[in-house]
Every structure is written in structure tokens, then in C-alpha cells.
Amino acid sequence: MFEICLIILLLSTLVLLYRVYLGPTLYDRVIAVNSIGTLAVLIIGVVGFLTERPDFLDIALLYALMNFIGTVAVLKFFRYKMVDTAKAQLTETAGLYDDT
């Protein structure tokens, strides 16, 4: 039963890789990469269950946290087109950022 679940998760990852490759916009690609990270967390959890190693859940939680922080960082970078947060806050309060 769980082997079938693992196969379905791997097939879903392949579909998302196709979306990353052909995504019409940058945001579609970022969401697809985020979804691949979420599927990786699920795959780690299923493999941990199948091998009877509960410590894999700790690894999966850590990876989920890194996936979330990475997605927020990438989206923030593409919104402000810069890495410096002080400059981003200055332009945001002045109303100078561009959402295009």
C-alpha cells in the first residue's frame, strides 16, 4: 500500500519537473519547485515509515522548514529585484517598488 503511495509521489514529481521546465511565468516555476520540495518531504516521511526509522520525520520537518524559507526568499528577491533588506524597506515605504 505504501509502496504504491511512494510510486504515485514519484510520478507527481515528474509531472512537476515538466511544469518547472515549461512554466509560462516565473511564479509558476517557483510554485512547482515549492511543490517538489513538499513532495520530497512526503517521500522522506513514507520512506521513513517503510524502513521503520522514525528519525526520518525530523529530517522531513527540517527540510520542510528550509523549503518554506527558501521559497519566501526567492519570491522576495524577485519582487524587489535586490537582496539588501534595508534598501527594500526604504523603497517600499517610499512607494517606489515596481510590481511588474
Is residue 97 over pLDDT 60?
no
Distance between CA atoms of residues 75 and 62, nearest Å: 20
Give the global pTM. Answer: 0.75
> In 4-24, which positions are buried (b, 16+ CB within 10 angstroms) versus exposed (e)?
eebeebeebbeebeebeeebe
Is residue 44 over pLDDT 90?
yes
Q: What is the pLDDT of residues 63-92, one digit of tens each?
A: 999 999 999 999 888 888 766 655 655 555
As a whole-number percent, the residues of the chain with pLDDT over 70 amount to 81
Closest CA to 91 of 75, 77, 78, 80: 80
19-23, 39-43, 79-83: lowest mean pLDDT where?
79-83
Region 7-20: what's the mean pLDDT? 93
